[in-house]
Amino acid sequence: MSKPANGPLDPSPTLHCKKTALRARPESLTHVASRFAQLPKEGRHQDAPQTLQQLVATQPPDLVFGPHVVAAFSRLSHGDTGNSMVRVRGNGFKSIAVVLLASVALTACGSSKAPTENKAATANGIEKPNLKLGFIKLTDIAPLVVAKEKGFFAEEGLNVTLEPQANWKVLLDGVVSGDLDASHMLAGQVLASGAGIGAKTKLITPFSLDINGKAVTLSNQVYQMIAASVPKGQPVSAAVLKPVVASFKAQGKPFKLGMVFPVSTHNYILRYWLAAGGLNPGFYLPGDTAGTTGAEVQLSVTPPPQMPATMEAGTISGYSVGEPWNQAAVAKKIGVPVVVDPDIAGTTGDKVFGMTEAFAQKNPKTVQALLRALIKASIWLDADGGKNRAEAVKLLASSKYVGADEKVLLASMTGHFTFGPGDTRSTPEFNQFFANQASYPMYSDGIWYLTQMRRWGQIAQAKPDQWYLDTVKSVYRPDLYDQAAKALVDGGKAKAEQFPKTDGFRIQTHKAIDGVAFDAHHPAAYTAGFEIGLKDGQSVTPAGVK
């Protein structure tokens, strides 16, 4: 390398490693070094290790770095260049970055500590070791974050980039287009593709990211109107909202609540809660994709991180969302959570790890590696009564993941849930990741969501029981999960007793708020039995419910 008289080092020569015949492209080195040089200017010295990992992960696979590069760059970002402490700025920072990158690339050629990810990928037959996975900023991304930050992905030979998405529609489009290899997804997004009402591209899920994890929050204004009717320490029935809804109607205003997506778990939980309290949340028609036909309460879509601000602005009077956005309302003193999802419809799966069927078919060993890593992460999250939750919260709090205050995250991640100041209750089954077979893709979870799609008109015609089972089996893939679990047991990484045998039908431990028992073996009768909802023989058309 040569050094211009008044400029940074020139990284133009190609770095060549004869021993491994690998090359580190100079343009890649320049990109990494240039981006890295911006960190001091942005006051982000502490982000150096994570930023370097992300930058290197996005470079061509022939860019060779040893694992010691992260520690070296962390020291460099704080001005530690060796024996003396020097605060390096601007081009000087970039120059040293280029030199260090080059030296690390060359050193890796002869080092026994060259990237273990490539070795593991080769050993495992990984078809696609470099992966981009999407997520929405919610606490139930914990298995993905833990698998990344605790090294479970790397152990399996996977070089994973986690990329936040603006909303569920953008995320879905990314999975369908292939821009995202797989993603944190709504169970309903995967199920809708199998039911023929969602993405045209077939989606599947071999892994449930968690069970439970949602709540309904009302604004302070609305809560003050119902406070006298709210039982202490008990789930709140939506029936207490009837006078509020009537008051809004008398003023010529619609009563609006927010949810995150039309096929979201949050939409169905909110609708169930409202209907159980005698309030119609409306039906979906071919010409009414908002689902407001006949609605006494209007539901609208808002991305999860925007829920608190949207409610504070008065656009909505409450919402159904995952954490930490209910706890965020408590922390900001703008709203009060009134009920958590296990107390609404019993225990249900929440988010899933989804991908296209084509990706799974093309990359079977990659999918198995992903599942092994995620299972290990979910076990870690629920180990020993949640002893690792505090550490998980620190990981999630990072701005590159959820970006919420640790106290807000802790309020729902440690077996308790804060409903308001001085009202913290035990909720041991809230946000479970492995316990109670939380990570297993249960058929019964998928069937329940399909019944709600039918109940509210997203599935226009009544369906027989066999249709529900066939549909969920086409997208929920416990066979892939079982294969990964067996490999972990056979390899001594997990114990057989951690994976109880199951037929895919969850045993309910919670009663629904309306007392209606869900029978996943007889979904048609269950769906038609609600007082509010479509009945057998009814269908939805552009003209309305027939």
Spans of all domains in the chain:
15-114, 121-212+349-527, 214-337
Helix, strand, coil % in the chain, rounded to nearest 5: 45, 15, 40
pLDDT at 19 over 90: no
Homologous superfamily, domain 121-212+349-527:
Periplasmic binding protein-like II (3.40.190.10)
More confident residue, 354 or 104: 354
pLDDT of residue 32: 54
DSSP string, 234-297: SPPPGGGGHHHHHHHHHTT---EEEES-TTSHHHHHHHHHHHHTT----EEETTEEEEEET-SS
Q: Indicate whether 442 pLDDT > 90.
A: yes
Percent of the chain surpassing pLDDT 70: 78
User: What is the predicted pLDDT for the residue at 234?
Assistant: 83
What Cα–Cα distance (Å) separates residue 269 from each residue in 2, 28, 208? 64, 47, 18
214-337 shares the fold of 121-212+349-527: yes
Asked if 360 contacts 206 with a C-beta cutoff of 8 angstroms, the reply is yes
Sign of CA dihedral 445, 447, 449, 455: negative
Structure tokens at 446: 């998928």
Can you tell me the distance from the alpha carbon of 183 to that of 75, in angstroms, rounded to the nearest whole number? 33
SS (H, E, C) 170-207: HHHHHHHHCCCCEEEEEHHHHHHHHHCCCCCCCEEEEE
What's the pTM value of the predicted model, to 2 decimals?
0.79
Q: Which residue has the higher pLDDT, 104 or 137?
A: 137
Q: What is the pLDDT of residue 42?
A: 56
What pLDDT is recorded for position 453? Answer: 98
Residues 6+ apart with CB under 8 A from 438: 208, 210, 211, 349, 378, 382, 432
Mean pLDDT of 411-416: 91
pLDDT for the residue numbered 399: 96
**Calpha distance 142→389 (Å, rounded):** 10
What pLDDT shows up at residue 45?
A: 53
Question: What is the average per-residue pLDDT within 296-314?
Answer: 97
Taking only the tens place, the pLDDT of each residue in 447-491 is 999 999 999 999 999 999 999 999 999 999 999 999 999 999 999
- Is omega for the bond preceding 324 within 30 degrees of 0, making it cis? yes
- Mean pLDDT, rounded, for 27-34: 52
Tell whether the model's pLDDT for residue 36 goes beyond 80.
Answer: no
Q: Which of 163, 216, 222 is nearest to 341 (CA)?
A: 216
DSSP class of residue 379 equals H
pLDDT in tens, 507-540: 877 789 999 999 999 999 999 999 999 998 899 9
H/E stretch holding 134 reads strand 130-135
**CB–CB of 212/138 below 8 Å?**
no
The class that CATH gives domain 214-337 is alpha beta
Identify the pLDDT of residue 287: 87
Contacts of range 405-412, beta carbons closer than 8 Å, 24 or more positions apart: 405/331, 407/331, 408/324, 408/327, 408/328, 408/330, 408/331, 409/139, 409/323, 409/324, 409/327, 411/324, 411/327, 411/330, 411/331, 412/139, 412/213, 412/323, 412/324, 412/326, 412/327
pLDDT at 109 over 70: no
For the segment 324-369, what is each residue's pLDDT rounded down to a tens digit?
999 999 999 999 999 999 999 988 888 999 999 999 999 999 999 9
What letters, b where the CB count within 10 A reaches 16 and e where it falls short, cover 523-537? Answer: bbebbbebebbbeee
531: left (phi over 0), alpha (psi -120 to 50) or beta: alpha
Q: What is the mean pLDDT of the chain?
A: 85
